[in-house]
């Protein structure tokens, strides 16, 4: 049995989790056909055996089916784990169509909390993120609503996702933000400019999603890779054949470092994130046991300060082609 992975504190909130979490979205949503439920339950429970204590889901993943999966998988292990879920999208209640916008009105947040508690088979949500900022609802009102839910014992910690600096400051004054979840990896380093220094100042933890660049940074995807129509990546500008071809330079750099470290590109990519700050907890997603074990191996990779400097400088010189999202989704990020 491999050594259990280390623990980290998400900022100054007191919330302790495994140094690597498990993003569960892809088990039910976004990357082709949903996977076999029993296989995914087994994978989640194996992750707990390996020392993972931090699991990420959201009502919009499915919608609804991913929370049900996570709830069933973790119900017998509930006292050993931290479950994070999210509110803030406007959804078709039948679950037949995708989200139709954002909605963080207080009554909507409360409704989502009650529904998520049922689907997760629990009496408390450990970490409740606003999934995307709602421009029509003041963030102080959102934070205040979650504060009430915390006082009622239905939520333990408040989080934000893809929020900009002003939003984070305003929210944190109303109710301390335990964690910000946003994209961060070697091919999306925007958070380094303004967000990471702010989180350090305020004592907020950082949970990078897509830490492996939606699979691209593992080296397993190239310009010839074909994505199914129901694979989210088929709509992303960064995953056109032209962009994949251009961005391969970064994958080659990671691959060279992986060879030197006797590690895999995925482990180097995650290890780099872990080395940035002690309060960063990436949540790579996977539906395969071999990939889970590979990802968790990143916990043992160490970089010297000199190695990190060389790596950062080399990566920063590589221009990345393609935006993260199509235009409609891009507008929702960093508000």
Q: Which residues are catalytic?
A: 61
User: Cα(242)–Cα(244) distance, rounded to whole angstroms?
Assistant: 6
Of 61, 70, 187, the residue nearest 131 (C-alpha)? 61
- Residue 130, strand partner residues: 87, 160
Of 191, 247, 190, the residue nearest 214 (C-alpha)? 247
Q: Is 129 helix (H, G, I), strand (E, B) or coil?
A: strand
CA 204 to chain centre: 15
User: Cα(217)–Cα(251) distance, rounded to whole angstroms?
Assistant: 6
Q: Which residues contact 120 (CB under 8 A, 6 or more apart)?
A: 57, 67, 70, 71, 74, 83, 85
Q: Which residues contact 212 (CB under 8 A, 6 or more apart)?
A: 185, 218, 266, 269, 270, 284, 295
Q: Which residues contact 275 (CB under 8 A, 6 or more apart)?
A: 302, 303, 308
User: Cα(200)–Cα(211) distance, rounded to whole angstroms?
Assistant: 19
- Residue 86, strand partner residues: 129
């Amino acid at each position: 049995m491999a050594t259990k992975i280390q623990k980290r504190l998400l900022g100054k909130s007191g919330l302790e989790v495994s140094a690597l979490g498990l993003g569960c979205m892809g088990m039910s949503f976004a990357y082709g056909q949903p996977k076999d439920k029993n296989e995914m339950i087994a994978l989640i429970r194996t992750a707990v055996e390996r020392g993972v204590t931090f699991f990420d889901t959201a009502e919009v993943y499915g919608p609804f089916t991913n929370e049900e999966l996570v709830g069933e998988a973790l119900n017998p292990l509930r006292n050993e784990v931290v479950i994070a879920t999210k509110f803030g999208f406007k959804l078709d209640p039948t679950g037949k169509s995708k989200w139709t916008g954002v909605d963080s009105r207080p009554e909507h947040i409360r409704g989502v909390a009650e529904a998520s508690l049922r689907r997760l088979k629990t009496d408390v949500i450990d970490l409740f993120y606003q999934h995307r900022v709602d421009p029509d609802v003041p963030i102080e009102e959102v934070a205040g609503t979650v504060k009430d839910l915390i006082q009622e014992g239905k939520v333990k910690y408040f989080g934000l996702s893809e929020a900009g600096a002003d939003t984070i400051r305003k929210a944190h004054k109303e109710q301390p933000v335990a964690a910000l979840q946003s994209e961060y990896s070697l091919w999306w380093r925007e958070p380094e400019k303004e967000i990471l220094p702010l989180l350090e100042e305020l004592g907020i933890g950082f949970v990078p999603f897509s830490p492996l660049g939606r699979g691209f940074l593992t080296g397993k995807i190239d310009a010839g890779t074909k994505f199914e129509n129901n694979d989210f990546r088929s709509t992303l500008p960064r995953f056109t054949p032209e962009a994949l071809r251009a961005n391969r330079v970064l994958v080659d750099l990671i691959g060279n470092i992986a060879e030197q470290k006797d590690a895999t590109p995925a482990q180097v990519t995650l290890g780099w994130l872990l080395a940035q700050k002690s309060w960063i907890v990436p949540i790579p997603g996977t539906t395969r046991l071999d990939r889970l074990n590979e990802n968790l191996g990143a916990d043992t990779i160490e970089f010297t300060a000199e190695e990190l400097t060389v790596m950062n400088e080399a990566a920063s010189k590589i221009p990345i082609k393609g935006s993260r999202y199509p235009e409609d989704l891009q507008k929702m990020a960093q508000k």
